[in-house]
Amino acid sequence: MSKSPIIMWFRRDLRLSDHEALTAACAAGHPVIPVFIHDELTESMGAAPKMRLGLSVADLARSLGDKGSRLILRRGDALAVLRALIKNTGAGAVYWSRLYDPQSRARDTKLKAALKDDGVTAESFKGHVLFEPWMVETQTGGFYKVYTPMWKSVRDNDVSAALPAPASIPAPQSWPASDDIADWQMDAAMNRGADILRSHCTVGETAASHRLDAFIADNVANYVKNRDLPGVAGTSGLSENLTYGEISPRKCWHSGWQALNDGKADAETFLKELVWREFAYHLAYHTPRITTENWKEDWDSFPWNTDVRRVEVKAWKQGRTGIRFVDAAMREMYVTGTMHNRGRMIVASYLTKHLLCHWKIGLDWFADCLIDWDPCSNAMGWQWSAGSGPDATPYFRVFNPVTQLDKFDKDRAYVKRWIAECTKTPSATALSYYDMIPLHWGMASDDRYPDPIVPADIGRKRALDAYQNRGF
Ligand code: FAD
């Protein structure tokens, strides 16, 4: 083949099937050079998501190898790396799947213009969402600020069928040099917790596909009842895979619809959850400030605590608030890199309302700990919980973490799974927390379980007083 190669730049689309950019590259009749770049955005990722990304990249490299192709790994500024590769290989085009968070968009816009100036074709494709943010409009031509009307407007939209993986990926005559992923040490910031966290990960395209199939076969029929119970494996767990693009939202959407058409009515709620994810990208695209600033500006004057060194922030991060639902959820996240959605709502409400701490403290800690970290869903979730976001929970809705536990963890399965101090015979998962946490936290499984740093009723009253004082 003497045609100029196409560089397929993988980012958060680490799969071969249902991949529009890869399919187009393979169909173009040119050699394809798959590339992953460890750039400044990767560099800035938190400990757990960076480690998890490394596992995903390694899995993609194996899948490409099975097809007779390769994944070229390079480190550095994305544009500089691509220019060097273009010079080195004679590539005439770069393809990628679009992203919607402000940082990725800023990088990609600049890079696209620069490549075009160089005379190189730069083409981006859909792949990370079902509905591009600019394709979904209110009746008056604006963007959606409330979820339910957006759900109603997209529910019955036509979504084209998922694409198969390319039968073959045309290889170049010679391959450019590649880094070795081991040298990147993407798990370095996990310190002693790396092996335990890894054991909780479900990595790669094949595993993600099995996970979806198992969820549809075993759990979707009871999703509505079970999805709120943190002690039960009632949700799909797919956020871990969707965030790195190991599975496409389109594949999840069609499986959900198939289940609904097969009479599993709860599948509609699963489809609705997928649209919450879409809503997060929709909001981040149209109002990028959601990832860094109060979406509702009238919250700018609210006197949230912003000091991360405060004792209650430390207790919250360490799962030592004395509020069992909060502590169980925080420990679950530290050990597994994920937290049940009900737990996320409870810990976010407790931090921002009972402890009156700024949502950005929570946003940053989640960004360090979550293997399903997503800049748009995380920001939407935190601002929803704090009350400062669009379509947010009203300021006066303060989750009571004690009654929530009685309602959603009646038999205390979740508490027992994560808190050793609450039982004479701690579970292996609760004990594994002590093998992960930094030694200087000074926690031991036979410590006395702390009294609440801020009891549920006192925190609620304090929060409501603070809101009323500010005229909310
Ligand atoms: P399922 O119940 O199986 O739902 C299916 C899919 O729908 C999920 O995989 C996810 O992609 C999507 N989804 C479900 N709920 C939401 C939601 N509320 N918002 C956006 N998408 C949703 N989700 C992330 O993917 N990354 C994050 O960084 C993140 N941070 C959050 C922070 C806070 C404070 C809160 C309240 C929520 C956050 N969420 C985040 C949303 C939600 O908690 C997770 O998506 C969900 O727990 C994932 O579990 P699952 O895959 O089993 O979900």
Q: What is the ipTM of this complex?
A: 0.99
Do residue 115 and residue 53 come from a single domain?
yes
Neighbours of 163 (CB within 10 A): 18
CATH, residue 101 = 3.40.50.620
Residue in the block written with tokens 């990832």: 291
Residue 24 lies in a domain: yes
Which residues are paired to 122 by β-bridges? 94
- pLDDT tens digits, one per residue of 379-437: 999 999 999 999 877 778 899 999 999 999 999 999 999 999 988 999 999 999 999 99
Put simply, whether the predicted model's pTM sits higher than 0.90 gets the answer yes
Residue 142 lies in a domain: no
Q: How many helices (H) and strands (E) does the chain have?
A: 22, 5
Q: Quick check: 1 pLDDT over 50?
A: no
- Rounded to the nearest angstrom, the distance between the alpha carbon of 366 and the centre of ligand 1 is 12
- Rounded to the nearest angstrom, the distance between the alpha carbon of 19 and the centre of ligand 1 is 22
Give me the amino acid identity at 353: K
Mutate to test the pocket of ligand 1, among 223, 273, 281 (most ligand atoms within 8 A of CB): 273
Q: Crossing angle of helices 249-261/267-286, nearest 10°?
A: 150
Banded pLDDT at 470 (limits 50, 70, 90): confident
Final residue of a domain: which of 76, 108, 127? 127
Do residue 113 and residue 21 come from a single domain?
yes
- pLDDT tens digits, one per residue of 432-460: 999 999 999 999 999 999 999 999 999 99
CB of residue 211 inside a 6 A radius of ligand 1: no
Number of independent structural domains in the chain? 3
Do residue 15 and residue 78 come from a single domain?
yes
What does the alpha-carbon distance between residue 397 and residue 387 come to, in Å, rounded to a whole number?
Answer: 9
Structure tokens at 95: 């393809």
Q: What is residue 101's DSSP assignment?
A: S
Do residue 79 and residue 211 come from a single domain?
no
Res 393: pLDDT: 77
- pLDDT tens digits, one per residue of 112-126: 999 999 999 999 999
CATH, residue 223 = 1.25.40.80
End-to-end CA distance of the chain: 67
Q: Quick check: 314 pLDDT over 60?
A: yes
What does the alpha-carbon distance between residue 278 and residue 188 come to, in Å, rounded to a whole number?
Answer: 32
CB of residue 331 inside a 6 A radius of ligand 1: no
Do residue 269 and residue 323 come from a single domain?
no
Final residue of a domain: which of 232, 256, 285? 285
pLDDT average, residue stretch 149-177: 97
Tell me if residue 122 falls in helix, strand or coil. strand
CB of residue 235 inside a 6 A radius of ligand 1: yes
Q: Which domain holds residue 202?
A: 188-285
pLDDT average, residue stretch 201-221: 98
What does the alpha-carbon distance between residue 6 and residue 269 come to, in Å, rounded to a whole number?
Answer: 40
Do residue 332 and residue 443 come from a single domain?
yes
Residue 177 lies in a domain: no
Nearest CA owner, ligand 1 atom 14: 273
Do residue 322 and residue 252 come from a single domain?
no
What does the alpha-carbon distance between residue 361 and residue 307 come to, in Å, rounded to a whole number?
Answer: 8
- Rounded to the nearest angstrom, the distance between the alpha carbon of 128 and the centre of ligand 1 is 15
Residue 379 lies in a domain: yes
Final residue of a domain: which of 260, 285, 310? 285
What does the alpha-carbon distance between residue 209 and residue 15 come to, in Å, rounded to a whole number?
Answer: 11
Do residue 327 and residue 277 come from a single domain?
no
Do residue 307 and residue 452 come from a single domain?
yes
CB of residue 370 inside a 6 A radius of ligand 1: yes
Give me the amino acid identity at 221: A
Do residue 43 and residue 113 come from a single domain?
yes
CB of residue 224 inside a 6 A radius of ligand 1: no
Do residue 217 and residue 251 come from a single domain?
yes
Do residue 8 and residue 100 come from a single domain?
yes
378 CA: nearest ligand 1 atom: 30
Residue 155 lies in a domain: no
Residue 163 lies in a domain: no
Write the CB contacts of 358 (distance below 8 Å, at least 6 apart in sequence). 304, 305, 306, 352
CB of residue 344 inside a 6 A radius of ligand 1: yes
